[in-house]
A and B are shown apart, each in its own frame.
Chain A
């Protein structure tokens, strides 16, 4: 009972923060809306017993991606004054697409048989299981992930080389 209430609070926080991200005019506020949304998702993972995933969610998404987004925002000029409106406005097409996606998702949610449990089991450590499956069943995707990260590292190096000549404030 109490856990349902707490779950609803976190779910509400996730959705409200996501709405704030979508509606806020200030890009930095969007970033901080995203922070609360991501923390809410982290709480959802905890409710599902995925402890390692919950911590990774915070470390990678909040500590990594969100900081990256905010740094990117701060490198651009005139953040608060930016009008985020698109030149091209097509309300009819947008409405159709939105309704179609809504119908599809609701249909999928109703169709799916969810393996729901009445009572959640106490959290069993998942980190060890991750380690074992990384190196046994999922060895190829695991090694492939490192190739992907290498490609991203090379891309990051390119990024610095392009901007090396540009003059900027040294902080």
Chain B
């Protein structure tokens, strides 16, 4: 538990500090709003259309692929951490073979994505 207390302290300091400065700037800065100033700045010309844009579907696919590879990484990391002790115990080879199966399927998935054009962004 103790090792995590500094994180809490630093988080508190960060939030308090940033709120303090936001309040300070609110107090010190002028406030002279006018409708022209408050419009969205899009190259200086009056804005057109709605902000509800439709996004290129690739963004969604990238997020999806990231999620899957992230999960793979979450499995790979504990293996990488224990790998040294496996090698020291003389079972490095079999543990590597076990990982190769996992790894191989990941590579098959990546190759499939590549061939199907899921990694293209045109």
Contact = CB atoms under 8 A, between A and B. Distances in A.
A61 to B, nearest CB: 10
Contact of A169 (B55, B66, B86, B105): B55
Nearest to A125: B81
Contacts of B74: 56, 59-60
Size band of the B side of the interface?
A: 35 or more
Q: Is the interface of B mostly helix, strand, loop or mixed?
A: helix
Contacts of B98: 135, 139, 143
A159 B61 contact: yes
Nearest to B73: A59
Contacts, number: 160
Contacts of A15: none
B52 interface: yes
B109 A154 contact: yes
Nearest to B114: A157
Interface string A131-157: 110110001001101110110111011
Interface stretch (B1-9, B28-36, B39-47): B1-9
A161 interface: yes
Interface string A107-138: 00000000000001111000110111011000
Contacts of A68: 60, 63-64, 66-67
A134 B79 contact: yes
B95 A135 contact: yes
Contact of B1 (A49, A60, A127, A128): A49
Interface residues of A, number: 58
A149 B85 contact: no
Contacts of A65: 67
B114 to A, nearest CB: 9
B106 interface: yes
Given A135-B95, A160-B57, 18 more contacts: A59-B70, A60-B67, A60-B70, A68-B66, A68-B67, A71-B55, A122-B1, A123-B4, A128-B81, A131-B83, A145-B102, A149-B72, A150-B108, A153-B109, A159-B64, A160-B116, A160-B117, A170-B56
22 contacts: A63-B70, A68-B64, A71-B59, A75-B60, A128-B78, A131-B79, A131-B81, A134-B79, A135-B99, A146-B101, A150-B106, A153-B109, A153-B110, A153-B112, A153-B113, A160-B61, A161-B118, A164-B117, A168-B54, A168-B57, A169-B53, A170-B56
Interface of A: 3, 6, 46-47, 49, 51-52, 56, 59-60, 63-65, 67-68, 71-72, 74-75, 77-80, 120-123, 127-128, 130-132, 134-135, 139, 142-143, 145-147, 149-150, 152-154, 156-161, 163-164, 166, 168-171
